[in-house]
Amino acid sequence: MTEFTKYEPGTFSWVDLATTDGEAAKKFYGELFGWSFEDAPAGEGMVYSMASLKGKSVAGLYGIGPELSEHPPHWQSYVSVASADESAEKAKALGGKVVEGPYDAMEAGRMAVIQAPDGAYFSVWQPNAHIGAQLVNEPGCFSWNELGTRDVEKAKAFYTGLFDWGVQVDDMGAFKYTTFKVGERMNGGMMEMTPEWGDIPPHWGVYFSVEDCDAAAEKITSLGGTVLRPPADIPGTGRFAVVQDPQGGVFNIITMAVPA
């Protein structure tokens, strides 16, 4: 198992789902990934459901309130930071927008929601009682965060300036793929959105590891979800699919060629 008890600043550490039906989402993801849930109050009229696997926290979900009703269900990526306030100020100086916060998430930590200059949203997380995911990179856990953007150079300048990420660019033939690094550790990826992406906005996508991508895609369909992009091989990496839960939240599943 890949267990974490802390995250270096600049590392993706958590993912959660904003959804229109928390109970239905818990049923879907519980059956798909084997997650169990523990609900906790998270402010006035709000419940945050912590998902666990093998007794370790792996993700979260909550219902979208009226104030966020214009946003469709979506998965969100969090980057661990030493100071949410300092990161928010730095993001603004680099051309980003602070959408929410910084604010305390009860005793769990302090956070801010940020929109990058290219339009993609993400959150920064200053841990307190909650460090982030305790288990990653195995079936049922998130394993990768990937930015789809229409301005690779602008995004690269913003994120490397904000988090001091290292950059590795690989020629994949049809496109170039950027890997962001914290030290020598691969931390996330980025690819350019071509016209074939249509009107999908720039975004951080989340990948969850599964034992068998094809079988998981079939199960998602049987549970009322949708396979948006059928399973396909990524040479040297693994086999993946783009899928959608019954409420509309989009995510990726992947079976790694070499387990992390």
* CATH of residue 223: 3.10.180.10
Q: How confident is the model at residue 8 (pLDDT cuts 50, 70, 90)?
A: very high
Indicate whether 120 and 146 sit together in one domain: no
CA-based end-to-end distance of the chain: 9
- Whether residue 9 is found in the same domain as residue 83: yes
Same domain flag for 166 and 93: no
Report if residue 132 sits inside a domain.
no
Looking at the structure, do residues 96 and 183 belong to the same domain, yes or no?
A: no
Instruction: Write the burial class of residue 9 (CB in 10 Å: 0-12 exposed, 13-18 middle, 19+ buried).
Output: middle
Question: Which residues have a Cβ under 8 Å from the Cβ of 241 and sit 6 or more positions away?
Answer: 213, 216, 217, 227, 228, 229, 230, 231, 232, 252, 253, 254
Q: Are residues 164 and 230 in the same domain?
A: yes
Residues 167 and 205 grouped into a single domain: yes
Q: Which of 127, 160, 185 finishes a domain? A: 127
pLDDT digits (tens, 9 = 90+) for 130-161: 999 999 999 999 999 999 999 999 999 999 99
**pLDDT number for residue 210:** 97
Q: Could you give the CA distance from residue 192 to residue 208 in angstroms, rounded to a whole number?
A: 21
- Express each pLDDT in 194-210 by its tens digit: 888 888 999 999 999 99
Task: Say if CB 75 and CB 249 are below 8 A apart.
Answer: yes
Whether residues 145 and 116 share a domain: the answer is no
Structural domain including 184 reads 139-256
Residues 95 and 59 both lie in one domain: yes
Query: What does the longest C-alpha to C-alpha distance in the chain come to?
Result: 51
Q: What is the pTM of this model?
A: 0.94
What total of structural domains would you count in the chain? 2
Residues 100 and 160 in one domain: no
Pair 109, 145 in one domain = no
